[in-house]
Amino acid sequence: MESRGARLEMHQENGQVVVVLTTEDGDDSGAGGIELLRYVLDDPSDPWESPKPHLHPLRTTSGAVVTDHRPDDHRWHKGLAVTLTHVTPERGAPQNFWGGNTYVPDQGYLPLEEVGSVRHLGFEHAAVTADGQRVELDQKLQWLTHGGAEWFLERRSLVVHSADRGAPDRPGTWALDLVSDLLNTSGQELRIGSPTTLGRPAAGYCGLFWRGPRSWTGRPVLSPAGEVAEDVAMGSPSETTPWLALSGPRDGVDGEEGSGGTVALVADLSADVPGRAGARTDWFVRSAEFPGIAPSPAFSTEVVLAPGEHLLLAHRVLVADAQLTAEQVADALAALPGTP
């Protein structure tokens, strides 16, 4: 699923990795190509927001933005990011690696200071394939508590691939595979949970989280079963619902009437990662309040990691330059290499 005459390019600027879709000769009608994503390595946000590397903006192949960043309702929502909501150690205070207020049973959300952060340590590999069809990043990251103790050492890979500019009979699309391998380096058992594991219903957010454009609020949730209500998709297991998607109109970019974009998240690509088994994931999704999706490894059941154990999160993100139906999302995902 690739577009003839199109290439992916990558460069770094001001602590960010930028991936651009351009034509074969490096020119795009004088525009320099379409910037598909920016990967922010050094997040300058307030510590209360749990600073971490994140991807924003993500754009369609025509340049429409399909992420939101620091919205007024949740300042710690930043495009596409790997998060852990509530991590409880054997000794010491729980840490919030999501950002914002921390959920406390029987008390609700409180502005606690135990909010951790994630630090980019460096790239072990960063390259574009010779044919310009893939951008590959292998990264090392450190998860730090509010007090500066390392609890996780992460190896993360990001692969941008399958970029297709589209044609009259199909929209432009591209895909991102993100694998996050978290090693417990804390020296003690860690329990990874969410507000739902602590007693708040339908708040199992954790893991990879995408925050969508505000113009997509209230849109139908798309799934392999078609359009479904938010409360039906909420908490559904990835074994029976391998992907969820949202779509909506363009925001801030001109386009034809009815044009827009779609973002689909695919859970559990760990079968393609040699020697690693992923945690079970259940879907957290919001649409009525704001657009957001997370394949959560701790929706209603904690993940318990002994010292030296790994948690693997392996997911795919599809970005389409049109408002797709559920059937069209399924077809686009099926055309990608390695989609289960």
Among candidate residues 302, 313, 238, 239, the one with its CA nearest the CA of residue 277: 313
Cα-based torsion angle of the residue sequence 75, 76, 79, 82 in order, rounded to the nearest 10 degrees: -170
Between CA 174 and CA 164 the distance in angstroms is 6
Between CA 4 and CA 24 the distance in angstroms is 8
pLDDT given at position 21: 96
Among candidate residues 240, 175, 204, the one with its CA nearest the CA of residue 21: 175
Question: Could you tell me which residues are beta bridge partners of residue 248?
Answer: 261
Residue 109 neighbours by CB distance under 10 Å: 13
pLDDT given at position 37: 98
pLDDT given at position 163: 96
pLDDT given at position 28: 44
Torsion-angle region of 162 (φ positive above 0: left; ψ -120 to 50: alpha; else: beta): left
What's 215's DSSP letter? G
Low-confidence ranges of the chain (pLDDT < 70): 1-5, 24-32, 252-258, 271-279
Buried b (16+ CB within 10 A) or exposed e, 283-316: bbbbbeebbbbbbbbbbebbbebeeeebbbbbbb
pLDDT given at position 184: 97
pLDDT given at position 29: 44
